[in-house]
Chain A
Amino acid sequence: MEKRFFIQRFFPGKDKRPYWQEYVLHCDSTWVVLDALEAIRSKQDPSLAYRRVCRHGICGSCAMNINGLNRLACETRLADLPSKIRIKPLPGFPVIRDLVVDLTQVYQNIEAIKPYLITKTPPPAKERLQSPLERKKLDGLYECIFCGACTSACPTFWASKHFLGPTALLQACRFVMDSRDEAKQERKKFLKQHPSLWQCHAILNCVEACPKGLNPFEAIVLLRKSLLKP
């Protein structure tokens, strides 16, 4: 099947503004968007820049805006898309080149919520145990691959770079809900001081954008409820 790709190109320092470049490609029906990008780069235009690592929807590197929605290029099948495909870098982030964006803001926001287990008691001989019920509370929270698709789809993040974004808030919830974590009060204190939790307008673009089917908004609601508990 033949597909027409309109890819946003931009090389800061060289190009004055982003522009659309068209590529026509004969694709296999089993291909995903990443296969097409690889074919374009190897056969038509080696200057096209994009990120890719695992090709299995785990690394999150190939998140981009495909036909107006943030998705992973390696998980988006060409057969599910129309004949004209518009590909842009993730919105809301500075473009490094073509489809490659600078995700520093996302990583800084994740770092701010301390995305690691904090313990104060001496470690047990083997490991810190959790009951199956306590472990179950982390389902839907720990699977995030940090691709930035949700944060990039969030109009609140577009408006305010001080907003932590759904990626970081999902991670905050993941550690607040973890029975083994012993810094819950510090985490809650940080979230109380930071206005982000209350800046979410329930637009839910993050839920639609998440390639892993997670619900960052539910995490935000859980965090709000946990902060309101005495």
Chain B
Amino acid sequence: MKAYLKQLFSYRWQPGMIAWLLMRLSGLGLVLYLCLHLGVISYSGKSPEDFRAFLALRKHIFVKVLESLLILAVCYHANNGVRVILIDFGFGSRWQKQLFIGVVILTFVLSTIFLYPVWYG
């Protein structure tokens, strides 16, 4: 594991490698979020009052930041998933850099649309 990480951090990160690392990180983050989400919902949903108190937490800046990260992770994971499917089907491995740039732009555009109600809604 130590040797693997050493190689991972010493080899120059190119778009394909950045895309793969972000895919892994966002995937792990989403799995962690799902576990937390199910756990928190099951504990805070015992009564309507509990749930309302729980929803009020969404106005907290810390939760807003976490929610923003969640939206970014979902958008990136979904968009890059499409890129990986295209490449795996044999389309665009020659243009993978351009595809990655497209994924990043699309992720920011979609995230901005979804983040607007979180911060200004």
Interface residues of A, Cβ cutoff 8 Å to B: 65, 67-69, 88, 91-92, 153, 155, 158-159, 201-205, 207-208, 215, 217-218, 221-222, 225
Contacts and interface: CB of A to CB of B under 8 A. Distances in A.
B8 A155 contact: yes
Main secondary structure, interface of B, reads helix
B7 A221 contact: no
Interface stretch (B13-21, B38-46, B70-78): B13-21
A155 B17 contact: yes
Q: Which 6 A-B pairs rank lowest in CB-CB distance, beginning with the nearest?
A: A68-B12, A204-B16, A221-B90, A203-B20, A91-B7, A158-B7
Interface string B30-57: 0000000000000000000000000000
A221 B84 CA distance: 12
Contacts of A91: 7, 10-11
Contacts, number: 61
B104 interface: no
A202 B7 contact: no
A208 B87 CA distance: 15
B88 A68 contact: no
B93 interface: yes
Contact of B20 (A65, A92, A155, A207): A155
A176 B4 CA distance: 32
**Highest count of chain A CB atoms <10 Å: which of B7, B11, B88:** B11
Contact of B87 (A65, A67, A69, A202): A202
B68 interface: no
B59 interface: no
A203 B4 CA distance: 15
Nearest to B24: A201
30 contacts: A67-B12, A68-B10, A68-B12, A69-B11, A69-B12, A91-B7, A92-B7, A153-B11, A155-B8, A155-B11, A155-B20, A158-B3, A158-B7, A158-B8, A201-B20, A202-B16, A202-B20, A202-B93, A203-B20, A204-B14, A204-B87, A205-B11, A205-B14, A205-B16, A207-B93, A208-B14, A215-B93, A217-B93, A221-B90, A222-B90
Contacts of A65: 11
Contacts of B11: 65, 68-69, 91, 153, 155, 205
Interface of B: 3-4, 7-8, 10-12, 14, 16-17, 20, 84, 87-90, 93-94, 96
B94 A215 contact: yes
A160 B51 CA distance: 47
A221 B88 contact: yes
Given A155-B17, A202-B84, A203-B16, A221 B10 contact: no
A115 B31 CA distance: 42
A41 to B, nearest CB: 24
